[in-house]
Amino acid sequence: MKKIIVAFLFLLPFFSSAQTDVLILQKKGRNIKTYEIGQNIIFKTIYDQWLGGMITMMRNDSIFLNNIPFHVHEIAAIRNEGTKWNYVNDGTLLIIAGVGVLVLNVVNGIYRNDKAGTWVATSGWITAGAFIIGGLLLRRARYSDYYIGKKYTLHYLNMHVDHSPADNHPSSNPAEPAK
């Protein structure tokens, strides 16, 4: 049993990977979000196209979105989806509730044989307006876009070591004389 455990511990590094490359979205030097392999991302390219999907690989300053490579400099904006609430459904329900308040006031006015101008009271207009405006604001708040430029920056952090640091030293290259 001990031999199996020791063999497992010695073979474990061959089947595991320690670090992957990271894409970092920063606002004035402060990290907003980091993206790694396996995470979903939505971004706008410099070609004015919105693309979304899973990051399948990162290599050589490129991210592979569903196995399609994009260089980091081709990304013009990143969209951050709101995931805590279901903004679209919540906003739609509020808009429907606001219209429902107006319809209910009209039906009650017709039932009471009121004049057409008095069917909806001021409180009904205020309540319906608050519901409708709240619903529109919730629908608008479902995502936020971070445009890469002055305020937001995108950095690619390469974690792979493909060669030893001695390869970059000038004296280790036989074609160039040491300075």
Same-domain status, 76 and 147: yes
Q: Are 80 and 146 in contact (CB under 8 A)?
A: yes
Percent of the chain predicted with pLDDT > 70: 82
Whether residues 65 and 98 share a domain: the answer is no
Contact yes or no for 154/72 (Cβ under 8 A): yes
Say which range, 1-5, 12-16, 31-35, has the weakest mean pLDDT. 12-16
* 167 within a domain of the structure (yes/no): no
Are residues 58 and 146 both part of a single domain? yes
Q: What pLDDT is recorded for position 20?
A: 76
Residues 91 and 78 in one domain: no
Question: 155 lies in a domain?
Answer: yes
Per-residue pLDDT, 172: 45
Domain extent for 155: 17-82+142-160
**Overall domain count for the chain:** 2
pTM assigned to the model: 0.57
Question: Quick one: 106 and 22 in the same domain?
Answer: no
Tell me: do 93 and 146 sit in the same domain.
no
Residues 63-86: what's their mean pLDDT?
84
In the chain, what percentage of residues exceed pLDDT 90?
33
Whether 102 and 65 share a structural domain? no
> In terms of DSSP H, where are the helices of 46-173?
87-111, 122-140
Q: Are residues 73 and 103 in the same domain?
A: no
67 and 122 in contact (C-beta within 8 Å)?
Answer: no
30 inside domain: yes
Residues 60 and 70 in one domain: yes
Per-chain mean pLDDT for the chain: 82
Is the pLDDT confidence value at 130 over 90?
Answer: yes
Could you tell me the two tokens for 168? Answer: 């970059």
Q: Is residue 8 part of a domain?
A: no
Banded pLDDT at 16 (limits 50, 70, 90):
low
Structure tokens given for 104: 């209910």
Question: Helix (H, G, I), strand (E, B), or coil: what is residue 112?
Answer: coil
Residue type, 76: A
DSSP state of 80: E
Residues 146 and 129 in one domain: no
Shared-domain flag, residues 56 and 134: no
What distances in angstroms separate CA 123 from CA 80, 91, 101, 102, one per listed residue? 37, 21, 10, 11
Residues 132 and 156 in one domain: no
pLDDT tens sequence across 18-46: 667 889 999 988 998 889 898 899 999 99
The dihedral through the CA atoms of 145, 151, 154, 159 has a sign that is: negative
User: What residue has token string 């670090």?
Assistant: 19
Asked whether the beta carbons of 95 and 134 are under 8 A apart, the reply is no
Q: Do the domain assignments include residue 109?
A: yes
Each residue's pLDDT tens digit, 99-124 = 999 999 999 988 888 888 888 888 88
